[in-house]
Structure 1
């Protein structure tokens, strides 16, 4: 019986390492960290950004898997976390679309010459409103 548990633990640990490595490789491949650093004129701190992402992922994994920790702060901290996580996911999505050249191809097909910042803004607002309605009206339970 203990051999099954040991094998299951080893298998889960190995799968977690593989998924984490793939996630961080994806983030590095699309170049989101250097792009954010270049846009914010903080390119000299790129190494600190990469370390912060790595340590954040590691600490988040450790806290969520091994510790039963209740983070104080209630809704205000949850709102702040959701806001920051949304910014990160939005940056990853835009960087991925930019790398895959999806937006330029779409804009060429619809023959759009101006207004790209507005398109990106309204895409982000649509994503935000969709998420808000999904969670606020508890559509997951339906």
Structure 2
């Protein structure tokens, strides 16, 4: 198993997948801050005073971490940031399910409801982030050749 996880091409592929998911998710939320703010409010977890600032900052964190991850910049650190976000998302979805809320998760626009499927998706992405933190990904997508 360690041989698979230490394969640089495997790590590159999973890194690109996670990066693209978070780039897309961040961009989607940035394009509709009011809708994302409503999605956060629907969870009924945070004080109302914090919702707007979170609705503005969280998507940019997702987008920037995704872009940096895509280009192989500080892979372990950005995988840790995204992994932490995923853990928070898993907890928020689980709490909503326990409380019986039938709400949109706020992940990729409208129509993604909280539930076991969302917990499974986020858990899989969290595992991928842990793999990236443990094994890193040395392949970078930037051309860093030096010219003399």
TM-score range (shorter-chain normalised) is: 0.3 to 0.5
Higher relative contact order (CA 8 A, sep 6+): 2
Q: TM-score, normalized by length of structure 2?
A: 0.37
Structure with the largest fraction of helix = 1
Q: TM-score, normalized by length of structure 1?
A: 0.38
